[in-house]
Structures are given as C-alpha cells and as structure tokens.
Amino acid sequence: MKKLIILSVAMLAMASTSYINAQNKGFVSFGWKMGMPLSDTKDYADEFSLEGFHFGVERFVGKDFTLGLDLSFQHFYEESGKITYKSDNSSYTGSGYKYFDAAPFTLAGKYYFGISNPEASFVPYIGVGAGAFYIKERLEVGSVSFEDTGWAFGVTPQLGFMIRLDKKLWFYSDFAYSNIFGRKDINDHKLLSGTLGVKIGF
C-alpha cells in the first residue's frame, strides 16, 4: 500500500509539472456518497447506503484534463433476521447482521468538457480511477462475529457534471461503477455509487 501511495503521488507530480507552471489550476473536492450493491455484493448486503464520503485532489495536466487522487468510503449494512451459519465443524444460530465497508484509494483521470471556457457555468465530465480498495466483510450471528479484511484492486469509471456557484466554487454530482477484484480471500465486489458535493478551485 505504501508503495502504491508513493507511486501515485510521483506520477501525479511528474505528469502535472509542465502544465501547472503555466496554468496553476485544479480542484479539491468534498462529497457525500450514496451507494447500491450489485452482483455478489448485493447477495451479501442488499441495502441502499447513505453512509459514505469522498475527498479528492486533482490538477490540470492539459486544457481540459486532470489527474488526481481520490479517497472515499462507503458502508453497507443489512439485518438478516434469524439465520444459521456454519463454520468449520460448528454452526451458529441467532439474529444476523451483515456489514460491508469499501475504502478506495485511486489514481483518477477526468476530462471536463468545456472547462477551459471562462464563461462556462455547466460542465459535464467523464473519468476513470484505478487503485487499491480496502475491503471489510463482517457477519454477526447473535454474539458471535466473523470478519474478513484485506486489500484488493479496483477500477471505477464515472460520469458527472459541475455547476458553477462562484468564481472558484462548483457544485458537482457524479455516478460511478466500481469493480473490485484480485484477492482469493476477499470476494469480488461491484458497487454503483452517486456523489453530491463541492469542488473548490485553486
């Protein structure tokens, strides 16, 4: 994980240096995330989540293109009623509660359509991120709990738009699809998420 962080920061610095010197522009973003599990994740915790956040930093490396780092978190929860769970040679019966957490740290590129126009007030964008996802799966059966945690790789394409609120302040909303895979001890997961937030220019 430490090597991934160092590599991501180095790539961002090298890619952006030449253009930032001429155009010192970028965004810091803060957002509230909502999420919906898909595929096998839905089988594990089939509840819409309002418990999430997003933080990002990006810099322009071209007229309409940014490269940056995204950090977010999403928590899913499901109450399953009375269940029986078998583990090794034992079985447990009780009220079941399932928890699923995903925390991605990704290097992301975004293309903003028309952002170079100083009069632009509505700017759609597309992007894709890739990097490390910290995954936590937890099952509680009565007073007994079972937990799996670990790092996996994920890819997240996204589609969104911005609306100008002030000279350097934008409202933004986007939708993202996360495909998380790459570890034998952690299930593959797929998530659909939406974000509402603000981007602050610098």
Q: Where are the domains of the chain?
A: 2-201
Give me the percent of the chain exceeding a pLDDT of 90.
55
**CATH number for the domain running over 2-201:** 2.40.160.20
- Give the model's pLDDT for residue 53: 97
- Give the model's pLDDT for residue 19: 47
- Give the model's pLDDT for residue 23: 46
Query: pTM of the prediction?
Result: 0.78
Burial per residue of 43-73, b for 16 or more beta-carbon CB atoms within 10 angstroms, e otherwise: ebbeeebeebebebbbbbbeeebbbbbbebe
Per the CB < 8 A criterion, the answer to whether 55 and 199 are in contact is no
pLDDT in tens, 12-27: 455 444 444 344 589 9
pLDDT in tens, 77-125: 888 778 777 777 778 888 888 899 999 999 999 999 999 888 899 999 9
- Name the phi and psi angles at 12, rounded to 5: -65, -45
